[in-house]
Amino acid sequence: MSNLAMVEAVNAAFAHEMNADDSVVLLGEDIGVNGGVFRATVDLQERFGEDRVIDTPLAETMIAGLSVGMAAQGLKPVAEIQFMGFIYPAVDQIVSHASRMRNRTCGRLTCPMVLRAPFGGGIRAPEHHSESTEALFAHMPGVRVVIPSSPARAYGLLLAAIRDPDPVIFLEPKRIYRLHKQQIEDNGEALPLDVCFTLRDGTDITLVSWGASIHETLQAADKLKEESEISCEVIDVATIKPLDMDTILKSVERTGRCVIVHEAARTGGVGADIAAQLAEKGLLSLFAPVKRVTGYDTVMPLLKLENHYLPDVDRIRRAVKETMEFA
């Protein structure tokens, strides 16, 4: 057992899988000697060699395109995009190729690659370093989009992502990279993809979130319990594509209320899809409209205002109270 922060858990998962499987290679900008700008790949080049932890030329389309080629020819590349704000040149490769290589060839070629990127706000970073655009990828058929919210889930979900036979976009909420540590046994056990994790059982309302926002959501749940005796069920979606609606629906069937929390802008966010599916499949269980607490539909502000953009404990609390008071 080791006490690991999320970014250290990412590193531990890499080390484990690279020991176990020669076909796993890492590529990206500054991931080798420097160990990544967040140190997610620290020491790995020294341990596994330059041909497995590869510092690439500075070109994001290339990083993704090389990964597609490697993955189609038997490697399991894990590519790092330094910040999600630089991922857009790579989107072409994901939507045009990675997501459809299996389909286009009827399974003759596949694309078992992982594209990782730190994402989200709250670390006082420069422009383009703080957005949450996971919904872009969630809209693409043929990929998985996975977002851990704790060191243990980062370890287990990253292992699962690397072993998955299809492309996975693995987004790491950098605000919580070093927020807290967890005891993790480095036993190579993956967590399941495509399922939500219920972090807290509750009876009055279901709070659905993912990534860094899970932490404000849990804090809000604690406060609501303490100040108003409101019992919140908290669900970490974890795999936002494909969505595990069964877990969310079952919870809402019991609680009759739902608030969705995410950092990303509201319009077209993954919360919209969850709300739509609740309306389609769970309407008769609902006592109140589904509410969303999200980033606003504006450009992510620079660091002076970013905390006003991000969903905070107070906004979540207020949304829960309004939902409880509706009926």
Partner 1 sequence: METVASFEIHYRQYLNAEGRAVDELPEFAKDADVLQRFYRDMVLTRTFDKRAIALQRTGRLGTYASSLGQEATYTGLGHAMQPRDVLAPSYREHGTCFVRGVPMSDILLYWGGDERGMAFEKAKDDFPVSVPIATHVLHAAGAAYAFKYRKEPRVAVAVCGDGGTSKGDFYESINVAGVWVLPCVFMVVNNQWAISVPRAKQSRSETLAQKAVAAGIPGEQVDGNDVIVVKDRVEVALTKARQGGGPTLIEALTYRRHDHTTADDASRYRSRQELESEKKKDPIERLKHYLIAEGAWGEDQDRQLSRECEGEVDAAVDQYLNTEPRAPETMFDNLYESLPTLYQNQREELQAKWKRHE
Residues that bind partner 1 (CB under 8 A): 25, 51, 56-57, 59, 61-62, 64-75, 77, 89, 92-93, 96-97, 101-110, 141-142, 165-166, 194, 242-246
Least distance to partner 1, CB of residue 171, Å = 18
Q: Please confirm, yes or no, whether 128 is among the known catalytic residues.
A: no
Q: Which two tokens stand for residue 54?
A: 């590869």
The H or E element containing residue 199 is: strand 197-200
Q: Which two tokens stand for residue 135?
A: 């919904």
Q: Which of 16, 97, 128, 129 is catalytic?
A: 129
DSSP label at residue 171: E
Least distance to partner 1, CB of residue 183, Å = 31
Instruction: Judge contact between 100 and 48, C-beta under 8 A.
Output: no
> Which lies closer to partner 1 via its Cβ, residue 205 or residue 275?
275
Question: 114: which strand partners?
Answer: 78, 168
For the chain, the maximum distance between any two Cα atoms, rounded to a whole number of angstroms, is 61
Give dist(CA 145, CA 155) in Å, integer.
16
Question: 171: which strand partners?
Answer: 117
Q: Which parts of 140-188 are beta strand (E)?
A: 144-146, 168-173, 182-184
Least distance to partner 1, CB of residue 209, Å = 19
Least distance to partner 1, CB of residue 27, Å = 9
Q: Which two tokens stand for residue 306?
A: 């970013």
Least distance to partner 1, CB of residue 111, Å = 10
Question: 46: which strand partners?
Answer: none
Instruction: Give the amino acid at 168.
Output: V
Least distance to partner 1, CB of residue 134, Å = 17
Give dist(CA 183, CA 189) in Å, integer.
14
DSSP line for 26-69: EEESS-STT--TT-TTTTHHHHH-TTTEEEPPS-HHHHHHHHHH
> Which lies closer to partner 1 via its Cβ, residue 164 or residue 216?
164
Radius of gyration of the chain (CA): 19
Give dist(CA 81, CA 118) in Å, integer.
8
Catalytic residue numbers, as ranges:
129
